[in-house]
């Protein structure tokens, strides 16, 4: 059967990663959480006290750090390894959320991550979620979905996720963070967050994960079995 590239873009905390993981599992495809890659770079820069404005040091860091994904057999999820160490929980902390959009706007960071993402998806049969998959990383993706949701709903979901990791954050602080990230992601010069012209809009405000997954899988079926797709 034809192997597809499935691009799931959209705003933070819309359910992109959870949906993408479930779709990949259903299709036996590879899954790549591109947002985790930018979070890993952010973590590296913060831990090594590298200023985001020191472009020479950032460039050197990009040549030094190594990002990979490994499947956790116990949980079944892909986890991020930075320089050989599992940092999945660390990259999800609020301190990283507060800085990741600032790192993502750095052109050399985006170029390095996009190149790595394109290598990961070269053989197709992959589900990627992020901000610019359908517009920059894989503009030829057979299935493109752009996810959105009301900001308060997104904040509540994010708050629950943080609480599960033992981090208590006020809802108003999360809303402020999401709005800041939305603005930075949508207005950056390099690969801004935007809906591709051929992407299908999916508003997840009132949907559960199973409904989101079914929505994407229906688009996959159409791409696989509709003659004109």
CATH code assigned at 49? 3.40.50.300
The predicted model gives 6-27 an average pLDDT of 94
221 is in an annotated binding site: no
Residue 96 lies in a domain: yes
pLDDT value, residue 190: 86
Distance CA 193, CA 186 (A): 5
Q: Which helix (H) or strand (E) holds 85?
A: strand 85-86
Residue 229 lies in a domain: no
Residue 228 lies in a domain: no
pLDDT digits (tens, 9 = 90+) for 61-108: 999 999 998 888 887 778 999 999 999 999 999 999 999 999 999 999
pLDDT digits (tens, 9 = 90+) for 160-198: 999 998 999 999 999 999 999 999 999 988 889 999 999
14 is in an annotated binding site: yes
11 is in an annotated binding site: yes
Residue 228 in this model has a pLDDT that exceeds 80? no
Residue 226 lies in a domain: no
* Tally of domains in the chain: 1
Which tokens in the block code for residue 20?
């993408």
| Bridge partners, residue 147, by sequence | 10, 202
From 172, 173, 132, 122, select the one nearest 11 (Cα to Cα): 132
Residue 227 lies in a domain: no
DSSP 214: H
Q: Are 12 and 181 in contact (CB under 8 A)?
A: yes
12 is in an annotated binding site: yes
Q: For residue 123, what pLDDT band results from cuts at 50, 70 and 90?
A: confident
Q: Are 219 and 147 in contact (CB under 8 A)?
A: no
pLDDT value, residue 1: 72
Percent of the chain scoring above 90 in pLDDT:
85
CA 162 to chain centroid, in Å, comes to 17
Counting every residue written for the chain, the total comes to: 229
Residue 2 in this model has a pLDDT that exceeds 90? no
CB atoms within 10 A of CB 15: 24
Which tokens in the block code for residue 171?
């809802």
13 is in an annotated binding site: yes
Average model confidence (pLDDT) for the chain?
93
Distance CA 34, CA 77 (A): 14
Residue 50 lies in a domain: yes
pLDDT value, residue 116: 93
Residue 161 lies in a domain: yes
10 is in an annotated binding site: yes
Range of the domain at 90: 5-220
Q: For residue 130, what pLDDT band results from cuts at 50, 70 and 90?
A: very high
**Whole-model pTM over 0.75:** yes
Q: Which residues are within 8 A (CB) of 54 and not within 5 positions of it... i.e. 6 or more apart?
A: none
CB atoms within 10 A of CB 60: 13
Distance CA 156, CA 161 (A): 9
Residue 229 in this model has a pLDDT that exceeds 60? no
15 is in an annotated binding site: yes
Residue 10 lies in a domain: yes
């Amino acid at each position: 059967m034809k192997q597809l590239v499935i691009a799931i873009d959209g705003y933070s905390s819309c359910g992109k990663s959870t949906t993408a993981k479930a779709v990949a599992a259903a299709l036996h495809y590879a899954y790549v959480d591109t947002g985790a890659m930018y979070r890993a770079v952010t973590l590296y820069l913060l831990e090594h006290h590298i200023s985001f404005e020191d472009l020479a040091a950032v460039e050197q860091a990009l040549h030094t750090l190594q990002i990979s994904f490994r499947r956790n057999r116990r949980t079944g999820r892909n986890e991020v390894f930075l320089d050989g160490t599992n940092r999945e929980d660390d990259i999800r902390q609020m301190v990283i959320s507060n800085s990741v959009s600032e790192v993502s706007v750095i052109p050399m960071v985006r170029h390095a991550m996009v190149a790595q993402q394109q290598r990961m998806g070269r053989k197709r049969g992959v589900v990627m979620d992020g901000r610019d998959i359908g517009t920059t990383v894989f503009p030829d993706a057979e299935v493109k979905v752009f996810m959105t949701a009301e900001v308060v709903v997104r904040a509540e979901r994010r708050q629950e996720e943080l609480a599960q990791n033992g981090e208590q954050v006020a809802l108003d602080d999360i809303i402020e963070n999401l709005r800041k990230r939305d603005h930075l992601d949508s207005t950056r010069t390099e690969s801004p967050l935007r809906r591709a012209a051929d992407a299908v809009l999916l508003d997840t405000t009132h949907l559960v994960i199973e409904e989101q997954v079914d929505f994407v899988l229906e688009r996959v079926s159409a791409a696989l079995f509709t003659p004109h797709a």
